[in-house]
Amino acid sequence: MTNMELEKLVRPNILALEPYSCARNEFSGVASVWLDANESPFNAPYNRYPDPLQLEVKERLSHLKGVPAESIFLGNGSDECIDLMYRIFCRPGIDNVVAMSPSYGMYEVCASVNDVEYRKVSLNDDFSINFDAMLAAADECTKVMWICSPNNPTGTAASIDDLLDFSKRVNCILVIDEAYIDFSSKGSMLAVLPQMPNVVVMQTLSKAWGSAGVRMGMAFACPAIVSLMNNVKYPYNVNILTQRYALEQLGKSDEIKAHVATLLEQRELLKQQLAALPCVKKIHPTDANFVLVETVDADGIYNYLLDKGVVVRNRNRVEMCLGCLRITVGLPEENLTLINCLKNYGK
Ligand SMILES: *Cc1c(COP(=O)(O)O)cnc(C)c1O
Protein backbone atom coordinates (compact mmCIF):
# COMPACT_ATOMS: atom_id res chain seq x y z
CA MET A 1 0.00 0.00 0.00
CA THR A 2 1.41 3.40 -1.00
CA ASN A 3 0.95 6.54 1.14
CA MET A 4 -1.68 7.67 -1.39
CA GLU A 5 -3.64 4.45 -0.94
CA LEU A 6 -3.38 4.73 2.86
CA GLU A 7 -4.59 8.34 2.79
CA LYS A 8 -7.74 7.27 0.91
CA LEU A 9 -8.63 5.03 3.85
CA VAL A 10 -8.19 7.74 6.51
CA ARG A 11 -11.08 9.97 7.66
CA PRO A 12 -10.52 13.44 6.13
CA ASN A 13 -10.69 15.17 9.55
CA ILE A 14 -7.94 12.87 10.87
CA LEU A 15 -5.77 13.46 7.82
CA ALA A 16 -6.12 17.22 8.38
CA LEU A 17 -5.56 16.97 12.15
CA GLU A 18 -2.99 19.23 13.80
CA PRO A 19 -2.01 16.99 16.71
CA TYR A 20 -1.50 18.26 20.27
CA SER A 21 2.16 18.98 20.86
CA CYS A 22 3.75 18.74 24.29
CA ALA A 23 6.96 20.53 25.32
CA ARG A 24 8.25 17.21 26.61
CA ASN A 25 8.56 15.91 23.00
CA GLU A 26 10.63 18.85 21.85
CA PHE A 27 13.20 19.43 24.57
CA SER A 28 13.82 16.21 26.47
CA GLY A 29 17.56 15.71 26.96
CA VAL A 30 18.46 19.42 26.64
CA ALA A 31 16.63 20.97 29.56
CA SER A 32 17.06 20.58 33.32
CA VAL A 33 14.59 23.13 34.66
CA TRP A 34 10.99 22.28 33.81
CA LEU A 35 8.64 25.21 34.23
CA ASP A 36 6.50 24.55 31.19
CA ALA A 37 3.72 22.16 32.10
CA ASN A 38 2.26 23.50 35.35
CA GLU A 39 3.39 20.36 37.16
CA SER A 40 4.23 20.38 40.85
CA PRO A 41 8.00 20.44 41.58
CA PHE A 42 7.35 18.00 44.48
CA ASN A 43 6.75 14.24 44.52
CA ALA A 44 9.28 13.17 41.87
CA PRO A 45 9.14 11.19 39.63
CA TYR A 46 5.34 11.06 39.56
CA ASN A 47 4.99 14.85 39.40
CA ARG A 48 6.07 14.80 35.73
CA TYR A 49 3.94 13.88 32.74
CA PRO A 50 5.06 10.57 31.23
CA ASP A 51 6.88 10.23 27.91
CA PRO A 52 4.00 10.53 25.40
CA LEU A 53 5.75 8.19 22.96
CA GLN A 54 7.06 5.69 25.56
CA LEU A 55 10.42 5.48 23.79
CA GLU A 56 12.23 3.44 26.46
CA VAL A 57 9.55 0.78 26.47
CA LYS A 58 9.51 0.74 22.67
CA GLU A 59 13.32 0.28 22.53
CA ARG A 60 13.00 -2.77 24.79
CA LEU A 61 10.10 -4.12 22.73
CA SER A 62 11.97 -3.45 19.51
CA HIS A 63 14.81 -5.77 20.63
CA LEU A 64 12.39 -8.35 21.95
CA LYS A 65 10.15 -8.47 18.87
CA GLY A 66 12.61 -7.58 16.11
CA VAL A 67 10.44 -4.65 14.98
CA PRO A 68 11.76 -1.06 14.65
CA ALA A 69 10.53 1.32 17.38
CA GLU A 70 8.80 3.56 14.81
CA SER A 71 6.61 0.59 13.87
CA ILE A 72 5.35 0.19 17.44
CA PHE A 73 2.33 1.87 19.06
CA LEU A 74 1.49 1.44 22.75
CA GLY A 75 -2.00 1.82 24.15
CA ASN A 76 -4.03 1.57 27.33
CA GLY A 77 -4.67 -2.12 26.60
CA SER A 78 -5.36 -3.53 23.14
CA ASP A 79 -8.79 -2.08 23.69
CA GLU A 80 -7.42 1.42 23.00
CA CYS A 81 -5.70 0.17 19.82
CA ILE A 82 -8.99 -1.42 18.67
CA ASP A 83 -10.98 1.78 19.27
CA LEU A 84 -8.36 3.87 17.44
CA MET A 85 -8.88 1.84 14.24
CA TYR A 86 -12.46 3.11 14.11
CA ARG A 87 -11.59 6.68 15.06
CA ILE A 88 -8.86 6.91 12.40
CA PHE A 89 -10.38 5.05 9.47
CA CYS A 90 -14.17 4.86 9.77
CA ARG A 91 -16.52 7.75 9.04
CA PRO A 92 -19.47 7.36 11.46
CA GLY A 93 -22.71 6.42 9.74
CA ILE A 94 -20.96 5.87 6.40
CA ASP A 95 -18.13 3.34 6.55
CA ASN A 96 -18.19 -0.31 7.64
CA VAL A 97 -15.87 -3.03 8.89
CA VAL A 98 -15.87 -6.78 8.18
CA ALA A 99 -15.07 -9.25 10.94
CA MET A 100 -14.86 -12.99 11.37
CA SER A 101 -17.54 -14.32 13.72
CA PRO A 102 -17.61 -15.45 16.46
CA SER A 103 -14.68 -13.43 17.75
CA TYR A 104 -13.65 -10.93 20.44
CA GLY A 105 -16.61 -8.82 21.58
CA MET A 106 -14.77 -5.49 21.74
CA TYR A 107 -14.55 -5.17 17.93
CA GLU A 108 -18.33 -4.95 17.75
CA VAL A 109 -18.77 -2.79 20.88
CA CYS A 110 -16.29 -0.23 19.53
CA ALA A 111 -18.06 -0.30 16.15
CA SER A 112 -21.35 0.56 17.88
CA VAL A 113 -19.77 3.32 19.99
CA ASN A 114 -18.31 4.86 16.82
CA ASP A 115 -21.54 4.38 14.82
CA VAL A 116 -19.85 2.11 12.28
CA GLU A 117 -21.62 -0.80 10.57
CA TYR A 118 -20.19 -4.15 11.72
CA ARG A 119 -20.43 -6.93 9.10
CA LYS A 120 -20.01 -10.41 10.56
CA VAL A 121 -18.78 -13.32 8.47
CA SER A 122 -19.25 -16.77 9.99
CA LEU A 123 -16.28 -19.08 10.37
CA ASN A 124 -16.26 -22.38 8.49
CA ASP A 125 -17.63 -25.39 10.40
CA ASP A 126 -14.12 -26.36 11.54
CA PHE A 127 -13.67 -22.78 12.89
CA SER A 128 -11.21 -21.87 10.13
CA ILE A 129 -11.60 -18.40 8.58
CA ASN A 130 -13.80 -18.05 5.50
CA PHE A 131 -11.48 -15.63 3.67
CA ASP A 132 -13.52 -15.58 0.44
CA ALA A 133 -16.71 -14.73 2.30
CA MET A 134 -14.93 -11.90 4.13
CA LEU A 135 -13.82 -10.43 0.81
CA ALA A 136 -17.33 -10.85 -0.60
CA ALA A 137 -18.78 -8.96 2.39
CA ALA A 138 -16.59 -5.93 1.73
CA ASP A 139 -17.45 -2.93 -0.46
CA GLU A 140 -15.92 0.49 -1.22
CA CYS A 141 -16.88 1.72 2.28
CA THR A 142 -15.10 -1.14 4.08
CA LYS A 143 -12.14 0.40 5.90
CA VAL A 144 -11.04 -2.32 8.32
CA MET A 145 -11.16 -6.13 8.47
CA TRP A 146 -10.85 -7.92 11.81
CA ILE A 147 -9.07 -11.22 12.24
CA CYS A 148 -8.22 -12.74 15.60
CA SER A 149 -5.64 -15.53 15.53
CA PRO A 150 -5.56 -17.50 17.78
CA ASN A 151 -9.24 -16.63 17.97
CA ASN A 152 -11.25 -15.88 21.08
CA PRO A 153 -13.47 -17.84 21.87
CA THR A 154 -12.71 -20.74 19.49
CA GLY A 155 -8.94 -21.05 20.15
CA THR A 156 -8.25 -21.58 16.43
CA ALA A 157 -5.17 -20.08 14.75
CA ALA A 158 -4.62 -19.44 11.04
CA SER A 159 -1.30 -20.12 9.31
CA ILE A 160 1.16 -17.35 8.47
CA ASP A 161 0.90 -18.21 4.77
CA ASP A 162 -2.89 -17.95 4.70
CA LEU A 163 -2.87 -14.61 6.53
CA LEU A 164 -0.09 -13.23 4.33
CA ASP A 165 -2.03 -14.24 1.17
CA PHE A 166 -5.20 -12.70 2.56
CA SER A 167 -3.45 -9.41 3.40
CA LYS A 168 -2.55 -9.08 -0.29
CA ARG A 169 -6.15 -9.58 -1.42
CA VAL A 170 -7.60 -7.02 0.99
CA ASN A 171 -8.08 -3.38 -0.13
CA CYS A 172 -8.30 -1.88 3.34
CA ILE A 173 -6.65 -2.08 6.77
CA LEU A 174 -6.38 -5.66 8.03
CA VAL A 175 -6.05 -6.03 11.79
CA ILE A 176 -4.64 -9.32 13.07
CA ASP A 177 -5.21 -9.59 16.81
CA GLU A 178 -2.49 -11.81 18.31
CA ALA A 179 -3.47 -11.51 21.99
CA TYR A 180 -2.84 -15.27 22.42
CA ILE A 181 0.12 -15.67 20.07
CA ASP A 182 2.57 -16.75 22.81
CA PHE A 183 0.52 -19.92 23.31
CA SER A 184 0.29 -20.77 19.62
CA SER A 185 2.05 -23.38 17.52
CA LYS A 186 1.59 -21.08 14.50
CA GLY A 187 4.13 -18.23 14.38
CA SER A 188 3.50 -14.52 14.79
CA MET A 189 2.83 -12.32 11.77
CA LEU A 190 5.51 -9.91 13.05
CA ALA A 191 8.08 -11.92 11.09
CA VAL A 192 6.43 -10.85 7.83
CA LEU A 193 5.19 -7.39 8.88
CA PRO A 194 7.38 -5.52 6.31
CA GLN A 195 5.58 -7.46 3.55
CA MET A 196 2.18 -6.28 4.77
CA PRO A 197 1.92 -2.44 4.67
CA ASN A 198 -1.86 -2.53 5.22
CA VAL A 199 -1.70 -4.77 8.31
CA VAL A 200 -1.86 -3.85 11.99
CA VAL A 201 -0.76 -6.68 14.31
CA MET A 202 -2.02 -6.32 17.89
CA GLN A 203 -0.55 -7.94 20.98
CA THR A 204 -0.97 -7.31 24.70
CA LEU A 205 0.64 -7.68 28.13
CA SER A 206 -2.69 -9.00 29.41
CA LYS A 207 -2.35 -12.73 28.66
CA ALA A 208 1.02 -14.54 28.47
CA TRP A 209 2.81 -11.61 30.15
CA GLY A 210 0.53 -11.98 33.15
CA SER A 211 -0.22 -8.26 33.40
CA ALA A 212 -3.89 -7.65 32.59
CA GLY A 213 -4.09 -5.26 35.56
CA VAL A 214 -1.55 -2.74 34.27
CA ARG A 215 -3.24 -2.14 30.88
CA MET A 216 -0.72 -2.12 28.09
CA GLY A 217 -1.49 -3.15 24.53
CA MET A 218 0.79 -3.03 21.51
CA ALA A 219 0.12 -2.43 17.84
CA PHE A 220 2.74 -3.11 15.17
CA ALA A 221 2.37 -1.52 11.73
CA CYS A 222 4.14 0.57 9.12
CA PRO A 223 5.37 3.96 10.48
CA ALA A 224 2.66 5.86 8.56
CA ILE A 225 -0.12 4.00 10.40
CA VAL A 226 1.69 4.25 13.77
CA SER A 227 2.02 7.98 13.24
CA LEU A 228 -1.76 8.33 12.64
CA MET A 229 -2.37 6.39 15.88
CA ASN A 230 0.01 8.71 17.77
CA ASN A 231 -1.78 11.78 16.43
CA VAL A 232 -5.23 10.59 17.54
CA LYS A 233 -4.50 9.03 20.96
CA TYR A 234 -4.64 10.96 24.23
CA PRO A 235 -1.17 12.52 24.64
CA TYR A 236 -0.36 10.63 27.87
CA ASN A 237 -2.27 7.42 27.23
CA VAL A 238 0.27 5.15 28.96
CA ASN A 239 1.03 6.39 32.48
CA ILE A 240 4.42 6.42 34.26
CA LEU A 241 3.55 3.48 36.51
CA THR A 242 2.65 1.32 33.53
CA GLN A 243 5.74 2.37 31.54
CA ARG A 244 8.09 1.59 34.44
CA TYR A 245 6.38 -1.69 35.16
CA ALA A 246 6.41 -2.70 31.48
CA LEU A 247 10.17 -2.08 31.23
CA GLU A 248 10.71 -4.30 34.24
CA GLN A 249 8.34 -7.04 33.07
CA LEU A 250 9.71 -7.09 29.51
CA GLY A 251 13.11 -7.87 31.04
CA LYS A 252 11.70 -11.12 32.39
CA SER A 253 11.04 -12.91 29.13
CA ASP A 254 12.73 -16.12 30.36
CA GLU A 255 10.39 -16.27 33.33
CA ILE A 256 7.41 -15.66 31.04
CA LYS A 257 8.54 -18.43 28.68
CA ALA A 258 8.64 -20.82 31.65
CA HIS A 259 5.10 -19.79 32.65
CA VAL A 260 3.88 -20.31 29.09
CA ALA A 261 5.50 -23.78 29.01
CA THR A 262 3.74 -24.69 32.28
CA LEU A 263 0.39 -23.45 30.95
CA LEU A 264 0.82 -25.43 27.71
CA GLU A 265 1.53 -28.62 29.70
CA GLN A 266 -1.50 -27.92 31.88
CA ARG A 267 -3.61 -27.25 28.78
CA GLU A 268 -2.81 -30.70 27.37
CA LEU A 269 -3.51 -32.36 30.73
CA LEU A 270 -6.78 -30.45 31.07
CA LYS A 271 -7.86 -31.55 27.58
CA GLN A 272 -7.17 -35.22 28.40
CA GLN A 273 -9.05 -35.04 31.69
CA LEU A 274 -12.01 -33.17 30.17
CA ALA A 275 -12.24 -35.68 27.33
CA ALA A 276 -12.77 -38.48 29.87
CA LEU A 277 -15.85 -36.80 31.41
CA PRO A 278 -19.38 -37.92 30.47
CA CYS A 279 -20.66 -34.31 30.45
CA VAL A 280 -18.15 -33.34 27.74
CA LYS A 281 -19.10 -33.90 24.09
CA LYS A 282 -16.22 -32.26 22.26
CA ILE A 283 -13.01 -30.39 22.93
CA HIS A 284 -12.12 -27.95 20.20
CA PRO A 285 -8.45 -27.73 19.13
CA THR A 286 -6.77 -24.74 20.75
CA ASP A 287 -3.71 -22.54 20.16
CA ALA A 288 -4.51 -20.33 23.18
CA ASN A 289 -4.48 -20.49 27.01
CA PHE A 290 -8.09 -21.65 27.07
CA VAL A 291 -10.17 -24.53 25.78
CA LEU A 292 -13.60 -24.27 24.16
CA VAL A 293 -15.53 -27.31 25.36
CA GLU A 294 -18.86 -28.51 23.99
CA THR A 295 -20.91 -29.99 26.82
CA VAL A 296 -24.24 -31.74 27.24
CA ASP A 297 -25.74 -28.71 29.01
CA ALA A 298 -23.70 -25.50 29.09
CA ASP A 299 -26.12 -23.46 31.25
CA GLY A 300 -26.59 -26.30 33.75
CA ILE A 301 -22.86 -26.98 34.11
CA TYR A 302 -22.04 -23.28 34.22
CA ASN A 303 -24.44 -22.72 37.14
CA TYR A 304 -23.34 -25.91 38.88
CA LEU A 305 -19.69 -24.75 38.73
CA LEU A 306 -20.62 -21.24 39.94
CA ASP A 307 -22.30 -22.83 42.92
CA LYS A 308 -18.98 -24.56 43.71
CA GLY A 309 -17.10 -21.25 43.38
CA VAL A 310 -15.58 -22.05 39.98
CA VAL A 311 -16.18 -19.44 37.26
CA VAL A 312 -15.83 -20.33 33.59
CA ARG A 313 -17.18 -18.44 30.56
CA ASN A 314 -20.56 -19.53 29.25
CA ARG A 315 -20.52 -19.23 25.43
CA ASN A 316 -23.83 -21.08 24.93
CA ARG A 317 -25.49 -18.06 23.32
CA VAL A 318 -22.59 -17.24 21.00
CA GLU A 319 -22.85 -18.04 17.30
CA MET A 320 -21.56 -21.59 16.48
CA CYS A 321 -20.86 -22.23 20.19
CA LEU A 322 -24.09 -23.92 21.28
CA GLY A 323 -23.42 -25.98 24.41
CA CYS A 324 -19.95 -24.52 24.83
CA LEU A 325 -18.03 -23.33 27.85
CA ARG A 326 -14.72 -21.51 27.50
CA ILE A 327 -12.29 -22.61 30.18
CA THR A 328 -9.06 -20.70 30.94
CA VAL A 329 -6.02 -22.82 31.88
CA GLY A 330 -5.11 -21.97 35.48
CA LEU A 331 -2.69 -23.25 38.10
CA PRO A 332 -2.43 -27.07 38.39
CA GLU A 333 -4.49 -27.05 41.60
CA GLU A 334 -7.16 -24.80 40.06
CA ASN A 335 -7.50 -27.07 37.03
CA LEU A 336 -7.75 -30.06 39.36
CA THR A 337 -10.52 -28.36 41.36
CA LEU A 338 -12.44 -27.83 38.12
CA ILE A 339 -12.01 -31.44 37.01
CA ASN A 340 -13.03 -32.81 40.43
CA CYS A 341 -16.18 -30.66 40.39
CA LEU A 342 -17.06 -31.83 36.87
CA LYS A 343 -16.54 -35.48 37.85
CA ASN A 344 -19.37 -35.03 40.37
CA TYR A 345 -21.69 -33.21 37.98
CA GLY A 346 -25.07 -34.95 37.72
CA LYS A 347 -24.38 -37.24 40.69
C1 LIG B 1 -7.88 -10.57 26.08
C2 LIG B 1 -7.90 -10.08 24.69
C3 LIG B 1 -7.29 -8.87 24.35
C4 LIG B 1 -6.61 -8.04 25.41
O5 LIG B 1 -7.10 -6.78 25.51
P6 LIG B 1 -6.37 -5.77 26.52
O7 LIG B 1 -7.18 -4.53 26.35
O8 LIG B 1 -4.96 -5.63 26.04
O9 LIG B 1 -6.43 -6.37 27.89
C10 LIG B 1 -7.27 -8.47 23.04
N11 LIG B 1 -7.83 -9.23 22.08
C12 LIG B 1 -8.40 -10.40 22.37
C13 LIG B 1 -8.95 -11.23 21.27
C14 LIG B 1 -8.47 -10.86 23.68
O15 LIG B 1 -9.07 -12.03 23.95
Ligand 1 pocket test: which of 83, 200, 207 has the largest number of ligand atoms within 8 Å of its C-beta? Answer: 207
Distance of alpha carbon 45 from alpha carbon 22, whole angstroms: 18
User: Which atom of ligand 1 is the closest one to the Cα of 151?
Assistant: 13
State in Å: Cα 225 to ligand 1 middle: 20
Taking CA atoms only, the protein residue closest to ligand 1 atom 13 is: 104
The whole-number pLDDT of residue 248 equals: 97
Banded model confidence at residue 125, pLDDT cuts 50, 70, 90: very high
Note the pLDDT tens digit of each residue in 231-269.
999 999 999 999 999 999 999 999 999 999 999 999 999
Ligand 1, atom 12: closest residue by C-alpha: 179
148 C-beta closer than 6 A to ligand 1: yes
pLDDT in tens, 310-321: 999 999 999 999
Q: Give the mutation target among 201, 206, 286 for probing the ligand 1 site: most ligand atoms within 8 A of CB.
A: 206
Of 17-21, 83-87, 278-282, 321-325, the one with minimum mean pLDDT is 17-21
What spacing in Å lies between the alpha carbon of 79 and ligand 1's midpoint? 7
Give the class (CATH, top level) of 3-251. alpha beta
**pTM (2 d.p.):** 0.97
Residue 30 has pLDDT above 90, yes or no: no
Query: What is the arithmetic mean of pLDDT over 64-88?
Result: 98
**pLDDT over threshold 80, residue 29:** no
Q: Whose CA is nearest to atom 2 of ligand 1?
A: 179
Asked if pLDDT for residue 33 goes beyond 80, the answer is: yes
Q: Is 68 exposed, middle or buried (0-12, 13-18, 19+ CB in 10 A)?
A: middle
Query: Could you report the per-residue pLDDT of 184-220, keeping only the tens digit for each?
Result: 999 999 999 999 999 999 999 999 999 999 999 999 9
Whether 79 lines ligand 1, by a CB cut-off of 6 Å, is yes
Q: What is the pLDDT of residue 23?
A: 67
The residue extents of the domains of the chain are 3-251, 254-343
What proportion of the chain, given as a percentage, has pLDDT over 70?
98
Compute, in angstroms, the gap from residue 161 CA to the centroid of ligand 1. 24
151 CB within 6 A, ligand 1:
no
Question: Measured in angstroms, how far is the CA atom of residue 114 from the centroid of ligand 1?
Answer: 19
> Interhelix angle for 55-65 vs 240-250, to 10°?
30
Long-range contacts, stretch 51-54, CB < 8 angstroms, 24+ apart = 51/24, 51/243, 52/22, 52/24, 52/25, 52/235, 52/236, 52/237, 53/25, 53/230, 54/238, 54/243
Domain at 254-343: CATH architecture: Alpha-Beta Complex (3.90)
Question: What pLDDT score was predicted for residue 129?
Answer: 98
151 C-alpha to ligand 1 centroid (Å): 11
pLDDT given for residue 28 in this prediction = 66
Residue among 211, 267, 203, 221 nearest 242 (CA):
211
With a 6 Å cutoff on the Cβ, whether 177 touches ligand 1 is yes
Q: What is the pLDDT of residues 274-302, one digit of tens each?
A: 999 999 999 999 999 999 999 999 999 99
